[in-house]
Amino acid sequence: MIFVTLGSQKFQFNRLLEKIDRLIAEGAITEEVFAQTGYSDYVPLHFAYQKFLNGTEFKEKMKQADIVITHGGTGAIINAVKQHKIVIAVPRQSAWQEHVDDHQKEIVREFGEQNYIQPCMEVEELGEALAQAGEKTFSEYRSNTDRFINDIDAYLQSEIIKKNDSGSRRL
């Protein structure tokens, strides 16, 4: 199954939903598709959708999916790659009133360069991105959270030691 998730920010991404509908109508997508459409107002003709899913429903759809098509949000991408899904990320673009700026292009480009996802910089390239993603082996995502926590902890410990050392010299 292909799970499409467009996030929960108050921006539409109608272009992506329309493109998926066209690819299904043309026979380029034959898998079952389910979309969390968020604030988009496009009504899909060829696949099931729901505006928003609760946490349990979202986890279930993610679990069922082989492929995740998502916007260029960091949380959506990381959530999917952590679960070893094939991820195709399409950045929202400010020119289409899909976001306030084009930061998602940078996010998608960076995750693509790290070989965690299949970037799809333009909606019209989604068919090619799906074909490429099916032939690729992606890098395994490794979170840096533990390293960041350890670095912060080490810094705080060194500051406590400095404070204690400097305080012990005073009478």
Residue range 146-169: mean pLDDT, rounded: 76
Tell how far CA 62 is from the center of its chain.
Answer: 12
* Per-domain boundaries in the chain: 2-142
CATH 3.40.50.2000 assigned to 2-142: yes
Q: How many other C-beta atoms can be found within 10 angstroms of the C-beta atom of residue 35?
A: 25
Tell me the CB-side half-sphere exposure of residue 166, using CA atoms within 13 A: 5
Q: How confident is the model at residue 35 (pLDDT cuts 50, 70, 90)?
A: very high
Overall pTM surpassing 0.75 (yes/no): yes
Find how far residue 22's CA is from the centre of its chain: 22
User: Do 73 and 104 touch, CB atoms closer than 8 A?
Assistant: yes
Q: What secondary structure letter does DSSP report for 68?
A: E
Q: Using CA atoms of 146, 106, 119, 67 in order, give the dihedral in degrees to the nearest 10.
A: 50
pLDDT reported for residue 135? 92
Closest CA to 120 of 79, 44, 75, 68: 68
Q: Is 121 exposed, middle or buried (0-12, 13-18, 19+ CB in 10 A)?
A: middle
Per-residue model confidence as pLDDT tens digits over 111-136: 999 999 999 999 999 999 999 999 99
Task: Categorize the per-residue pLDDT at 150 as very low, low, confident or very high, splitting at 50, 70 and 90.
Answer: confident
Q: Which of 102, 96, 105, 77 is nearest to 7 (CA)?
A: 77
Position 171 scores a pLDDT of: 45
pLDDT band per the 50, 70, 90 thresholds, residue 165: confident
Provide the 8-state DSSP code for 171.
Answer: -
Instruction: For residue range 75-97, list pLDDT tens digits in order.
Output: 999 999 999 999 999 999 888 87
